Structure formats: C-alpha cells, structure tokens
Structure 1
C-alpha cells in the first residue's frame, strides 16, 4: 500500500506494489498510467533546478491499483517460438508437480519435459570410440556432424526453454531460480565407496561466470583458439575438443576450491538444507563438478488434456528442428563443410534419434 504525502520514485512504487520494474517501453507506460489514474498526486520540486522531479507524492487514493498485464511478454515482441513452450511448461508442472526441485538441463529437457531422448542427448558427451559405434549402429556416416548438429539442436531447445521461463516470470506466471547444481565428494574411511553430495545454489552465479571467463581466456592465450572471441564465447570452441574440456573442467574446479568466498556460500547452504547430518566442502570433500540448473518454485496452473499437451510438445519439436536447420547453416563453416546429400541424411537421422517419434509426426524431412 502506498502511503500518502510520502515521496516515491517509480522503482519504489513498483517495489511497494510488488510489480516488475521496467526501464522503458509499453509495460512501464501502462504502469505509470495505472498509478496516475488511481491516485491524486503531484511531482515535488527539485530544490536546485526548481523544476518538477519525476518522483511522486500522492495526496489521495481514488481507487485500488490494478496491475497492468505485461505488454509484449516482458519486452519480447516476437513470441511465436516461445508461446507453445510457456503453455507446455505450465501444463507439465501443473500435472507433475515438480515445483521447488532443481533440475539440470539434461534432467529438465529429457526427463521432465520429455522433449528429447536422453540416450541420444548425452551421446555427444561420450568418448569418440563410443560415439563412433553409436553413429555406425544408426547409419550415420559423419560422427562430427552428429556431434555438431545434436549440440546445436540442444542449444536451440535450451534457449527456448530458458527464455520461456524468464518470460513467465516477467508476466508473474512463475517464480524460478537459475543457478547450478554442485557435486562434491563425501569421503568416509569406513565405507568402501565414497558418497557424492549434491547442492543447488543460485548464490554464486556471478563468481561462476567470472571464473569461467578467466579460464576461457587462459586457454585462448595458451592454444590460440580464436582472435575474434573472448571469455565464455570461447566455450563453443572448447567443447569441440575432449582434451580442452578436460583441462577446462579441471582448472575451473581447482580455482573454485581456492575461492574461500564461494566455498563459504556453498557450505552455508549445505548446513541450512542438511541441518542434522551434513558434510561441508573442503580439501577432504572436494568439489567434483557442477552443471547449470533451474528450479521453478511457483507457477500459474494450466490444466490441459493429455492430447493438448502432446500437441504442444509436437509443435515445440517442429519449431526447434525448423529453427535448428536454418540457424545451423547460418554458420558459414557449417555451410561450407556440410554440403553433401549424405550430410543432409545424417542430419535427419540425428533429428530422429534426438526427438521422440510421436513428436516428429507431420514434420517435413
């Protein structure tokens, strides 16, 4: 509730009313219009310039404020690629009640949303001999194309999912946390096997990005990966090489283990979640790995029939494949390298392996 005869900036008004703060555009204009129609007010004078300030002092409430709908889906004008996904996510989380559980991207895309087949999804992370055998068994001639194209399609889908969750949040239809799941070793001498601990955190995102940026730049200086890209842009180059991935992962974990601030934040969360029996991260119980993860903590229910949900999933699959095909060849290297009829055949087979058969129904090959 806004107090009368008290000065508020636009940001303070939104915070008081629980509204999103916008830097401009139609959404901000709609909010200001609603505020100014619900209250009598005046703009206080700037004592230095003697001109009215942009802040408000309300003298009388005419009626209760009603939060305007978010225009353009939170500032995104072209939403045809994410509208089906937003409805699909709401329907799945309404049906399966997966709230307040952090999921890695693999878990979210394959196990929860069931938009890709897990076996094919993780195959691009396997060693080359295993990937070669997999491609041979499925009549794919180019293992490199399978790896490049499947990675590209996964990125297209992941970007659509993350953008959809972001827009749902901006429209006040969902609340979520975007962070990382950390895996760490729990050493117990009396046990024959070590236990793996797991903790989700969104408290060290900035430190993770800064660390990865530095590690990427170090590898670029060492191996001359690119003279055009810097920082985490280089990840696309690093992930093409098993050796570079191994070195990158080792260095980023070693650096985090030396960062007392990061370890303190993670251990604080471990203690809060595992209140009775817990093991903190230290030299004896080191970090092993981490992966980006999302936890949707609240969502506006959307109840759909199973056929409606399947129809949305099919539409999403078609969007991802059609966009994936187009953007894959916007890369001039791919356009030049993958230019044979056999390459196109391999792309279609890769799509068949990644996406469930019932979702590809009606797709033009």
Structure 2
C-alpha cells in the first residue's frame, strides 16, 4: 500500500493544484534571481566586450558608469605618450530621447572612436559596423529600429546601418552606437531657451568650435587603454595618475564598482524577496503535507496495527513530499521558459542558480516531510478502532 501514489491517483485535482502552487512560487524565485542575473549581464556588457585594460576617467571620480566623468578632449593624445600604452580610444555614453515614427523613444548613446574602433566587438544580427566617420548608427533591436531607418538625433539625421540584440544598459534602455564625434555633437546640443538663459546669466559668450554660443565642457567620459603585452599595469597607472587630473581604473575595478556600488541595493532587495518567498514556500508545503497526513491518520493507524514499522510510514510521507516538490519544480521550469521570454527585461536562467533553487526546494520538502512524520509518529495502532 503506497499512500503517496494512492493520494495522487484518487485526488488528482488536489495534487495538481498543490504542484501548481509550488510551481508558481518557484517560478517567482527563478524570475527574481534570473532578473538580477540579466541586470548584471546588461550592466557589464560594455565593460566586458569593449576590450580595454584600463579606463582613464576624471580625477577623484569612479566614472563613467558609477558616476559622471568628463576628461579633457585631448586626453587620448596625452595617454598615447605613456610608455606601455599600445592603443587608446575615447569613450562616452549618455541617455537620449528621440522621435521616430510618431513616437518618442529612448536609447543610451555610446560613442565609438571611429576609425580607431569600428564597433567590431558588437554582436551584429543584421547590417554592418560603422564605416563612415559621421551620421551612421548601430542600434539594438529593443529600440524598435531597423537597418535602413533614418532617425534624427540632435540636429542631424542618422542612418541605421547595423542591429544588435540584447545590448541594453542596466536600466533596460537599448544601446545605440555612433561615432565619438557624433556623440559629442549630440551631447553638446543646446536648445534656444538654454542659449537665451546662458546669455542672460553670463552675457554674450563667444561661439564654441561646434557653432554653439554656449561654452561647452568636454563630453568625453573616459579614455580606454590597451596595454602592450610586456607592460607593467601598475607602472602605467602610476605614470598617468601623477598628472593629478585623472583616475585610472582597471577593468576589474570597473566591474567591481558596477556590481558593488551601483547594483548593490538591487542585489540586497532581490535577495530579501527571494528569501521571503523561500520562507513562504516552506510554510505552504509544510501545511500541505501536514494536512494530507492528518487526513490519512486512519490508514496510518491501520498500517501500524498490521505491523508496519515507523520507517515505512516515514518513507511514504517523504515520498509524497518528494513527488510534490519534483512536480512543482518541473512545472516551474516549464512556466519560466514559456513566460520569461515575454518580459520586457532579460531574465537569465543560469544552471547553477537553478540547481541551487532545486536544492532549496528539496530541503523545504524534507522539512515538510519531517513535520508530517512527526505527527504520524504520534498515531497509535489502537486509534484504528476509534
């Protein structure tokens, strides 16, 4: 006599609802951990892909991702002269709203230092990399743009020559890549009202090189450095930081700043919610197993009257908890794979995370089984006669 199979066969609706309840709780946990993994991957996309050994940013700043940064426009020429430097590129990134097809859209513009860098590190799904020095752009598919579209950014029109997929920033905005000169021009655009206010405050200002009557600060956020294979990074960093107006960060430091500064609160919040759902799941599964055990006290007493050992009863209850946990976890994986691709943000389901959540569910089922076994152990064989 197998109580677990008997209960599942004779009460399939209750078993299915129980399994689905556990599955939805597990799906929520998989979704939160996967959302965090997706945010981390999105935030580190540029840092991981752009192939830089060092980031030269504004002095006493942790930019350009953790906080704002602006370096001198000619900083790349200064960095080029440092012994051990093999290659330099200018970098900037900022959020921009633009109108297209009658709607206002939002993207994070990233400056690519053409011709030193044509964007070959971008995973294109269509089109080509940046060839011309001006008025070309590569956009992520999440922006809703396609190859051949023309979009107005700042005061100029840009042709979309390439498409990427899953290239977004930590906020979920799609990335758009233009040349560094185009990015600087777009960032320096001022409205007529801004010009008027600036003149009213500071008087007539001399025209800047880009034609604006407002004096502009540098829009270059950082200079990316690739080192010679034989160079000592510590010596190169020390040589540049002696200038006093820059800070030099390694790629590992940029990654650490992103994870432990900008995303730290998000990590704690997701961990807290995941822990809360784990506790709720433990309570729900324990109550379910306990209720099922209460309903079968007569059968348990009959088994004991027939001479069944405690281990037999314990095995049956444990099997029931295991069936519920296994069915719930399998359903949660199915639901996750069907639903998460529809989410606006990327949800990454890493096998190690799934294994950890599966282990957590197994421990929850073990605790729930222990609750049921503890109640069943108090049943006496004489209760079958009551």
Bin for the TM-score computed over the shorter chain: under 0.3
Give TM-score scaled by structure 2 length: 0.22
In terms of Rg, which structure is larger?
2
- Structure number with the bigger relative contact order (C-alpha 8 A, sep ≥ 6) is 2
Give TM-score scaled by structure 1 length: 0.23
